[in-house]
Amino acid sequence: MAETWRGFWVVSYRELLRFVGDRARVVSSFAMPILFLVIFGAGFSKTIGTMAPGVNYIQFMFPGIIGMTVLTNSLFSGISVVADKEFGFLK
């Protein structure tokens, strides 16, 4: 059981180091949700707010943006683990 946790920690730590080391990935992971929230949220809020009074579209979008961010980052991490396995790091 301890070997399993050690392997989990090693892969997680390596992914964290890769994430922090790649400046473009860090910036895009913060910029994309902000872009959706500010640009699209404010734009659609004006349109939808006139059709359905009392609806705050930014509050409606927020959980979806968090879900999208988590799924996108996990997809990139999964691809990285598959690449590590393919090139022999995980042996």
pLDDT, tens digit (0-9, with 9 covering 90-100), for 33-84:
888 888 887 777 777 766 667 767 788 788 888 998 889 888 887 888 788 7
How much is the pTM?
0.65
10 vs 91: CA distance, rounded Å: 13
pLDDT, tens digit (0-9, with 9 covering 90-100), for 74-89:
888 788 878 877 887 7
The letter for the amino acid at 71 is: L
Contact 37, 68 (CB under 8 A): no
31 vs 37: CA distance, rounded Å: 10
